[in-house]
Amino acid sequence: MAEPTVAIVGIGIYPFGRHQDVSGLEMGAEAVRRALLDAGIEWRDVQFAFGGSSDAGKADTMVAELGPTGIPFTNVSNGCATGGSALVSAYHAIESGAYDLGVVVGFDKHPRGAFMERPEDWSLPSWYGTAGLMVTTQFFGIKIQRYMHDHGIEPLTLAQVAEKAFLNGELNPNAWRRTPWSAEQVLDSPMVSDPLTQYMLCSPGEGAAALIVCRAERAGRLDAKPVFLRSVGVRTRTSGSFEVYSPSIGVDLPPSPTVDAARTAMEMAGIGPEDLDVVQVQDTEAGAELIHLAECGLCEDGEQVELYASGRTGLTGRLPVNTDGGCIANGEPIGASGLRQVHEVVLQLRGDAAERQVPGGPRLGFTHVYGAPGVSACTVLSR
């Protein structure tokens, strides 16, 4: 691998869940403060910032909380890929030579209930959301139904995805759902959109995550434990890709943008999927984790059955996936999810993940986030 140009020298998180008396911006600002403390620097040392939120306001207004130092602060909005896209932007800002030290932050505060239940968003009757007939969950159900049919996957594997998420979430003090659920309990929970039951889906939530990034050569001069950002990849869908046409159409479709983003990030880092020690992929629901593992080149289509049945994706397995519980255990504040993933991989590579630490001293990590209507952002990190 080539010498890295960008390092992550500070991480901060505001626990995911529900925080009645705290605004999204306040959560974001607190996550930044924690990241600054972790890096051993102050807000006045920061030269630039990128950040984003879906429902909780403009990130640049956070300077009212942190201090009006006049830095350039750019708002980023790419659906669930907001955090990953903000980090990619910061990476290029440093690699270009324009800056040496910056902040990346994502935060959100969503209302209770399923995403997009507001009828004005979809021209739907008011009862549609309250009856549980959500556009997102219906699409997820249709998508994984077709994938399971094509590749011989049974609902038990979906339940094993969720079971792993809750086991990992139990060990994560910043996770929202920290009660373990067995695969049988997950299967027996209320059906939402067949084959997805209640505990196979993430929930809209609240929280924030922040990173301090700097030029790699400067990392040694800070009182910090650097993790190096080896590569980044962001791609959007091409004409005819999965999000454009119904999965019921019997034609060959172009690959998801995840395929291109993951390949770009790994080729840029000079590695292959087999080199990775710890992985975070978008798991808006259990089916998404299965599909994204294959799209990222981490397994073959259909191989997920053996991976989950054997425990190979668990903390002590060969390919630990979503070691902090992922979206299923943490919930999804849209602007923060991608940076939560990076926060977790940094902890793992530092050896600071406590009870959920992957054994053997992981050296290479990978993150993947996917945002509607078709943006994928991937990173490769190393210690």
pLDDT digits (tens, 9 = 90+) for 103-158: 999 999 988 765 554 444 545 566 655 555 566 777 788 889 989 999 999 999 99
For domain 6-112+206-229, say whether CATH 3.40.47.10 is its number.
yes
Distances (CA, A) of 139 to 12, 146, 277: 33, 11, 32
Average pLDDT, whole number, for the chain?
90
Neighbours of 296 (CB within 10 A): 26
φ, ψ (nearest 5 deg) of residue 123: 55, 45
SS3 172: coil
DSSP conformational letter for 321: B
Per-residue pLDDT at 257 exceeds 70: yes
Give the whole-angstrom CA distance, residue 79 versus residue 266: 23
pTM of the model: 0.92
What integer pLDDT is reported at residue 244 of this predicted model?
A: 42
What kind and span of H or E run contains 235? Answer: strand 227-236
Q: Which amino acid appears at position 118 of this protein?
A: R
The answer to whether the CB of 87 falls within 8 A of the CB of 11 is no
The distance in angstroms from the start CA to the end CA of the chain is 12
The class that CATH gives domain 152-197+230-382 is alpha beta
- Cα-to-chain-centroid distance, residue 19: 20
Nearest CA to 277 out of 310, 315, 303, 311 is that of 315
Query: Are the folds of 6-112+206-229 and 152-197+230-382 the same?
Result: yes
Distances (CA, A) of 361 to 163, 352, 365: 25, 10, 11
Q: Which amino acid appears at position 309 of this protein?
A: A
pLDDT digits (tens, 9 = 90+) for 31-86: 999 999 999 999 999 999 999 998 888 999 999 999 999 999 999 988 888 999 99
Q: Which residues of 120-129 are buried (b: 16+ CB within 10 A; e: fewer)?
A: eeeebeeebb
The answer to whether the CB of 55 falls within 8 A of the CB of 349 is no
Give the whole-angstrom CA distance, residue 324 versus residue 343: 10
pLDDT digits (tens, 9 = 90+) for 341-381: 999 999 999 999 999 999 999 999 999 999 876 889 999 99
Which ranges of the chain does DSSP label H, i.e. alpha helix? 24-39, 63-66, 82-95, 119-122, 127-130, 135-151, 155-170, 183-188, 216-219, 257-269, 286-295, 304-309, 326-330, 334-350
Please give the average per-residue pLDDT across 323-348, as a whole number: 96
Per-residue pLDDT at 324 exceeds 80: yes
Give the whole-angstrom CA distance, residue 199 versus residue 333: 17
What integer pLDDT is reported at residue 373 of this predicted model?
A: 66
What integer pLDDT is reported at residue 131 of this predicted model?
A: 58
The answer to whether the CB of 327 falls within 8 A of the CB of 201 is no
Question: Picking from 42-51, 64-73, 189-198, 245-254, which range would have the lowest pLDDT averaged per residue?
Answer: 245-254
Peptide bond into 190 cis (omega under 30): no
Contacts of residue 66, defined as CB under 8 A and 6 or more positions apart, other chains included, come to: 29, 32, 33, 43
Please give the average per-residue pLDDT across 165-184, as a whole number: 97
What integer pLDDT is reported at residue 255 of this predicted model?
A: 79
What integer pLDDT is reported at residue 243 of this predicted model?
A: 56
Nearest CA to 106 out of 370, 346, 283, 343 is that of 343
What integer pLDDT is reported at residue 247 of this predicted model?
A: 46
What integer pLDDT is reported at residue 80 of this predicted model?
A: 84
* Residue 160 in tokens: 């094993």
Give the whole-angstrom CA distance, residue 203 versus residue 114: 7
Band the pLDDT of 246: cuts 50, 70, 90: very low
Residue 370 forms beta bridges with which residues? Answer: 376
Q: Which residue has the tokens 């997102």?
A: 136
Q: Which amino acid appears at position 301 of this protein?
A: D
What integer pLDDT is reported at residue 94 of this predicted model?
A: 96
pLDDT digits (tens, 9 = 90+) for 262-316: 999 999 999 999 999 999 999 999 999 999 999 999 999 999 999 999 999 999 9
What integer pLDDT is reported at residue 281 of this predicted model?
A: 97
What kind and span of H or E run contains 206? Answer: strand 206-215
For the chain, the structural domain boundaries read 6-112+206-229, 152-197+230-382
